[in-house]
Amino acid sequence: MASRGRWKHDETNTRKMPVAYDSYYQTEDYVGAPYPELVAFYAQQADRGKLLDLGCGQGRDAAALARLGYVVTGVDYSEVGINQLHAVAQREDLPLRGVVADVYTFEPFAGYQHILLDSMFHFAKKERAQEQRLFRRIVEGSDPGTLLTICLQDVGEKVAVLDGLIAEYAGIEEVKRARFRYTFEDKASGHRVETPYLMIALRI
């Protein structure tokens, strides 16, 4: 396994800037409900503990997991999304807080028992290198034994790119690999798109 680096403990890399998701998130529950497969997987885990949701959006997963008893920190650069997450946390008195930050500079990854990235990795040619760097930073910067869960579209070569990254680290244990279908509905037009999805959980 590659060596684990040490990362500075600071969360001062917050920034305020308008992002496309700020306008998408004018629609409530823009991406819909959390995947039942994801919620069922986390419901089965013996250890709840602290969970970091990178690219948490409006907090559909973060809130669902806080309801299960995880102590959740959500990170997103959409201030609108983070405000909505805080509203749910307050309304339901959940162990859930949000940070407005860029996940590519956010740290630390240590101190969490769980890290989740749902629909954050796309591995399109333009962003592939920075997403690969983020994966490596998470693996090398998180505590040994952390459960890293990644949900991504199972189309094209995305899963092959992820598998290539996992193969770089001999010590990673694959805990779960589940395929399911996710339907995105554009609430304004009613247009629905169904996509094959993959959830991979890794003990890193």
Ligand X SMILES: C[S@@+](CC[C@H](N)C(=O)[O-])C[C@H]1O[C@@H](n2cnc3c(N)ncnc32)[C@H](O)[C@@H]1O
Binding site for ligand X (CB under 6 A): 19, 21, 31, 55-57, 60-61, 76-78, 81, 102-104, 118-120
Whichever of 80 and 139 has its CB closer to ligand X, that residue is 80
Question: Whole-number minimum distance, CB 48 to ligand X, in Å?
Answer: 20
How far, in Å, CA of 41 to CA of 121, rounded?
20
Question: Whole-number minimum distance, CB 151 to ligand X, in Å?
Answer: 7
Whichever of 145 and 187 has its CB closer to ligand X, that residue is 187
Helix (H, G, I), strand (E, B) or coil at 128: helix
Question: Whole-number minimum distance, CB 173 to ligand X, in Å?
Answer: 24
Residue 91 burial (CB count, 10 A) = 9
Whichever of 13 and 176 has its CB closer to ligand X, that residue is 13
Backbone angles phi, psi at 152, to 5 degrees: -150, 160
> Which residues are CB-contacts of 9 (< 8 A; sequence separation ≥ 6)?
107, 108, 110, 111
Whichever of 85 and 202 has its CB closer to ligand X, that residue is 85
